[in-house]
Structure 1
Amino acid sequence: MPSNPFRHLRPPQGWRPEAWRGAVGRRLAPVGGRASAWRDWVVANDPVYGSFRRPGQAETIAASVTLALVLAIVLFLALFDWNWLRGPIGRWASAEYDREIALRGDVDVKLFSWTPSVVVQDLRFGGPAWARDRDTVTAERIEASVRLRTLLAGRIEMPLLAITRPRAVLIVTEDGRRSWDLNPDRPDDGEGLKLPPINRLIIEDGRLSLDEQGRDITLEAQLTAREATGATEGETGFLLTGDGTIEGSPLTLRIEGGPFINIRRDRPYAFKATVEGARSQLIADGSITRPFDLGQFQATLSLRGQDLNDLYNLTRIALPNTPPYRLAGTLTRDDRIWTFADFDGRVGASDLSGDVRVEGGERLNVRADLRSRRLDLDDLIAILGGSTRTNDAGTETTTVSSGGAPGRLLPDASLQVDRLRTMDGQLTYRAVSVKANDLDVRQVRLGAVLEAGILDLDPVSFAFNRGELNGTARINATRDRPYSAIDFRLAGYPLESIIPARNGVAPLTGRALGRARLEGPGASIHDFAAASRGSISLVVPQGQMRTAFAELLGVNASAGLLRLLRGDESQSTIRCGVADFDVANGVARARTLVIDTDVVLASGSGTINLGTEQMDLKIDGESKRPRLLRLWTPILIRGPLTGPSVGIDTGSTVAQAGLTGLLAAVVAPVAALFAFVEPGLAEDANCGSLIASAR
């Protein structure tokens, strides 16, 4: 016999079994007494117990009838032909779901098993009233079984689901009606499809057709799910492949997963999905956290394409126009909450990283926190509707056009207001640094809130090497023609950044202050400007100007031209410069236009048509010092905003030359010069009042 493995154990010294049993007995005695008292009461008073102990004739008859009824039910179920219920079930389901539902083949049910099963032949699940011509689902054969033990515990677990030659036709109308929705009045909660665990899923020769009319998507897909039949069988598991179109361009889809063998709820199910279309490619490689619960999964998502705006038809998320992009991050779904976290990549020649959170439902809610370590300012041109080109290495973006008509500056790309109405959201963006640019922008900060079709941009901030531009904008997209309002302030912007230096000397220096307050309708920036009203002002409190240019503001031929010809780099003080315009119907009319230097006081008038983008300004200058040669003619600034021409009023010059000829003939040659003598009577402008009046 084997030796006792516990032979080395000994009870503690002084331990007595009799005493231990006595102590336990004393502790359990009250419990046992109560149990005995309850048992005695039941025996003496409970009629049910008494009838079982001493059954009478009535009890015997009741027990016999019950047993016979149970046996009859069991026998009935064992011999019952379930095909008799095909008609009643089909009529009830058709009336309940307002579509034709029919079990057209044999129905075989096996109840007396630990895994009850049902086999249905030739199932037809018709379309709703608005799509009667196409059945939503048909199947040649369906076999399903459930595990009885878990079913009695309140959970459904399916050891087997096998479907032969299923055909599914999914239709989504432009107004959002779905052909497979059995309860169309119920609001969309955004949660994913949840199925019970299926240990073995077999789908043979499945076909799926998708017609989503609102996004102009069509797809024809093949669906299989099977297990290997031998050691050489390589294709196992789930596979969905499809081809179609999206807005007329090719669309391909491929989703694959592992075999459905011994699937468990606590074991993630791996999958890989690839979607290519709309000039975009999406690749997700991850796992479903709980198999058959499509509302819970996590994957590594890689995105690449020509324009983020193209993703709208695939994701229903309104995104801005961009240059080509490539991004990668972690995609997670938690029922109605989607997150694209810790993503990184490039958009055009700029890096982009951050987090995006999308809450699903009937109306999407998007929150994005984005940042760039180094921004290429040309990449922002695409957002405004401009055309850009990024090199193959993704290191440089150049602007091909501003997005306006040929010769125009303002973009005329229309805002897609219908997309803004479908979602709400909040955005923050910051560019820590900006690639060297002509405007000398160093940092960018943007914020946006979209709610109920109204987009608020706050802040819109550009920090320059010196100075900054800050502002807000509101776009009301609830109208067929959007209505916008902007308010931008320019503070301390250096004039030398506008007019580049020549020969190492800037012709104009100083700090500019400005403000633009405009509002009006328009689907594009150009249309908005062409119909806007409000005010535009620019103020230079003080600065420096090359004396030659200052002299030429008064068209002083004797001083200004000679200084320019000699290359004179001397400076004159700008006491103030004020340009204040009233804007109505897209035409900015000069209210105040003054440039006051220590040698010339120049004032102007005229208009800038924001619709045609044409300037028509006239500047008259008066010298503050006597000059020998002076042309009494205004300076004209005319032409397009992209390249205005600067000249003089030739009519005035000719008239003045005629007077000179008359004096030369009648009086004396010296008197001919009097017509060009400037007495120098101009006084200093009241700069404080002018600046205060500018808005």
Structure 2
Amino acid sequence: MPFPVKGQLDAGTTYVAIEGVIADAADISGIDVNLRIEGQTLANLYPFLLLPLPLPASPPYRLQGHLVLKGNRYTMEDLAGNWLERHHWQGRLRRPGAPPPADRGPPQQAAQAGRPGAADWRGNEAKRRQACGVPVRNQQPAGCEVEGEGVNHVLPAGRFDGSRLQKIDAEVDFVATKLVVPEALPLESLKASLRLRDARLKVDPLDFGFAGGTIASKVALDARTPTIQSDVQIDLQRVRIDKLAPDPSTIAKGAGRVGGTLRLKGAGNSIADAAAKADGRISATVVNGRISNLLDAASGLNGGKVLALLAGGDKDIVIRCGGVNFDIAGGRGKSTLFVVDTEQTQVLGTGGFDLEHERFDITIAPKPKDFGLLSLRTPVRLHGSFKEPDFEVVKGPLVARVGAALGLAAVNPLAALLPLIETGPGEETNCGTVQRQVTDAVRQAGTPKATNMKVDKKP
């Protein structure tokens, strides 16, 4: 017979309040209750509360809903909650009974949420493969031990327990048609599709609407061995410069687009460990950009001061085209392309970074197109840690500056980055001109007089 239940439970950092009916207290074959849960991380819910799947570590959370269990089918209706009391969401969570693998149908598709800023979360999370240990209490979040993370590091060092991915199969589709986030973060929407089978996780796509463009991503993790293998692909597509700043007055409207790519393969049970020995490349490009009043907005930042130095103090910077590429091997990145072409100046650069120690050292040298301009003609060195970058003006004449090293920036053609921009018909990108200039610099770097660089002054 039905058994009424009402109670509260504190278990370590997790608080649970429940009120409703259990169909059979001995068998727990049916549950119909209102549930409220608060805690420091979702990871501590497994295997707590009969939850049949491990969950990742999360920020402090609060959620409530109407939990119904019929047979082996869980449904959480009227689900609502928030992260850190700031990010609110609502929807529905359902775990159907897992059929045999051959009989599995397609996953449930996500739909638009009932109100802006929310998402309807529907997934087909399959079977629990084997038993798991007890939750961690009054310690670091489960599956997220922190090692070696200090005040001078920015890459997360929290360690993930890969054995959790060996305990379940899962299929989850997630769509958020609108994201309500802090104004400084121009995220607009989210679409994700997750597939986990036999300890191999793929998230494809993992796409964000971002600043009028798209962050299109694919992530693959292989946890069949104690050290997780990772493969990350990210494309930054058609991002609008004017939407990158929270205050529209700081950057001119219609001020060009940015594109980029990131390809990294690594091994490690934290982001920091995987990046430390990763291989791949990072590329970025901008076309037809116009940045206005940015120097005033960034006057308190080293980046703003560097822009002021390179632009000769101009308030408006018209960027005809620019591109950078870093090849990464063993966690160390080395520039193979670094050029930014403005109306007044062409900026060339060289240098690299170290993902393991989170440090970088890059030298950039402006080359004024009109030598009558009062523009800086000596290089600027950017260096330091990722968290505390610094810069300095390099001493000595520009002829002795980084010399052939700047010219040796081999051209990974800018044309390969152009599909990420898609500026539209009739819009001149000027990337061809920039590429020819850099090609000339590379060719001249092979001769003793490598500093006599040709400049095409045509727009």
TM-score by length of 1: 0.46
Aligned equivalents of 1:505, 1:488: Cα separation in 2: 25
Cα deviation code 1:86-144 (max 9, x no counterpart): xxxxxxxxxxxxxxxxxxxxxxxxxxxxxxxxxxxxxxxxxxxxxxxxxxxxxxxxxxx
Distance 2:382 2:89 in 1: 42
For the residue of structure 1 that corresponds to 2:159, the secondary structure is coil
Which secondary structure state, in structure 2, belongs to the residue aligned with residue 542 of structure 1? strand
Q: Which residue of 2 aligns with 1:413?
A: 158
1:244-643 equivalences in 2 (<5 Å): 268-272=2-6, 274-289=8-23, 293-314=27-48, 315=51, 317-348=53-84, 349-353=86-90, 354-357=92-95, 359=97, 373-374=116-117, 404-431=149-176, 432-496=178-242, 504=250, 509-545=255-291, 561=312, 564=313, 569=315, 571-627=316-372, 632-643=377-388
Q: Give 1:368 shift.
A: 10
The one-letter amino acid paired with 1:331 is L
Distance 1:507 1:608 in 2: 33
Amino acid at match of 1:410: L
Cα distance change on mapping 1:684 and 1:440 into 2, 3 Å = closer
- The letter for the 1-side match of 2:46 is Y
Evaluate the alpha carbon distance shift between residue 505 and residue 467 of structure 1 in structure 2; reply closer, same or farther with a 3 A threshold: closer
Partner of 2:434: 687
Alignment of 1:149-188 (within 5 A): none
Name the SS for the 1:625 alignment partner.
Answer: coil
Amino acid paired to 1:687? V
- Give yes or no for contact 1:284–1:301 (8 Å, CA) kept in 2: yes
Q: Is the 8 A contact 1:553 1:635 kept in 2?
A: no
8 A contact 2:211–2:243 mirrored in 1: no
Superposition deviation, residue 504 in structure 1: 4.8
Is residue 649 of structure 1 aligned with residue 394 of structure 2? Answer: yes
Q: Distance in 2 between matches of 1:308 and 1:497?
A: 33
Q: Which has the higher helix share?
A: 1
Q: For residue 405 of structure 1, report the CA deviation from its aligned partner.
A: 2.5
Structure 2 CA distance, aligned partners of 1:483 and 1:286? 44
Q: Is the 8 A contact 1:350 1:374 kept in 2?
A: no
The structural deviation recorded for 1:684 is 9.5
Q: Answer whether contact 1:338 1:360 (CA < 8 A) is retained.
A: no
State the aligned residue count: 364
What displacement does 1:636 show? 0.9
Amino acid in the other structure paired with 2:72: R
1:528, distance to aligned residue in structure 2 (A): 1.4
- Judge which range, 583-592 or 594-603, deviates more: 594-603
Q: CA separation in 2, counterparts of 1:468 and 1:313?
A: 37
Distance 1:585 1:542 in 2: 35
Question: Could you say what secondary structure the match of 1:411 adopts?
Answer: coil
SS at match of 2:274: helix
Query: Residue in 2 aligned with 1:380?
Result: none
- RCO (CA 8 Å, sep 6+): is it higher in 1 or 2? 2
Maintained 8 Å contact 2:286/2:323? yes
How far the C-alpha of 1:346 sits from its partner, in A, is 2.6
Q: State the distance in 2 between where 1:422 and 1:627 align.
A: 69
Per the TM alignment, residue 475 of structure 1 is displaced from its structure 2 partner at its CA by: 1.0
Deviation readout 1:351-397 (Å, 9 max, x if unpaired): 2322131647999x99896968437xxxxxxxxxxxxxxxxxxxxxx
Aligned Cα RMSD in Å? 4.1
Contact kept? 1:555, 1:632, Cα under 8 Å: no
Q: Do the aligned partners of residues 597 and 282 (structure 1) sit closer, same or farther apart at CA in structure 2, a change above 3 Å counting?
A: same
SS at 1:442's partner residue?
strand
Instruction: Indicate how the Cα distance of structure 1 residues 283 and 686 shifts in structure 2: closer, same or farther if over 3 A, else same.
Output: same
CA distance in 1 between partners of 2:99 and 2:397 (Å): 70
- C-alpha deviation, 1:320, in angstroms: 2.5
Change (3 A) 1:331 1:555: closer
Contact preservation (8 Å) 2:367, 2:377: no
How much identity, in percent, do the aligned residues show? Answer: 25
Over residues 657-693 of structure 1, what are the superposed CA-to-partner deviations in whole Å (9 max), with x where a residue is unaligned? Answer: xxxxxxxxxxxxxxxxxxxxxxxxxx9973367999x
TM-score of the superposition, structure 2-length normalised? 0.68
Q: Compute the displacement of 1:417 (Å).
A: 1.1
Query: Structure 1 508/536 Cα, relative in aligned 2: closer, same or farther at 3 Å?
Result: farther
Gaps of 5+ in 2: 119-147, 296-303, 402-429, 440-459
Which residue number corresponds to residue 671 of structure 1? none
